[in-house]
A = this chain, B = another copy of it.
Amino acid sequence: MYKIGELAAACKVKPDTLRFYEKNGLLNPANRSDKGYRIYSDDDAQQLRFILRAKAMGFSLSDIRELLNIEASRSDWACADVKGMVEAKALELQTKIDEMTRLRDSLQELADACCGGPESAIHCSILDTLETK
Contact = CB atoms under 8 A, between A and B. Distances in A.
A96 interface: yes
Given A79-B117, A81-B121, A86 B107 contact: yes
Interface residues on A, range: 35 or more
Interface in A115-133: 115-122, 124, 126-127, 130-131, 133
A31 interface: no
A82 interface: yes
A131 to B, nearest CB: 6
Contact of A111 (B53, B86, B101, B107): B86
A80 interface: yes
18 contacts: A50-B130, A53-B133, A57-B103, A57-B110, A78-B118, A78-B119, A79-B120, A80-B117, A83-B126, A86-B110, A86-B111, A89-B107, A90-B104, A90-B107, A93-B104, A97-B97, A97-B101, A97-B104
Interface of A: 46, 50, 53-54, 57-58, 67, 70-71, 74-84, 86-87, 89-90, 93-94, 96-97, 100-101, 103-104, 106-108, 110-111, 114-122, 124, 126-127, 130-131, 133
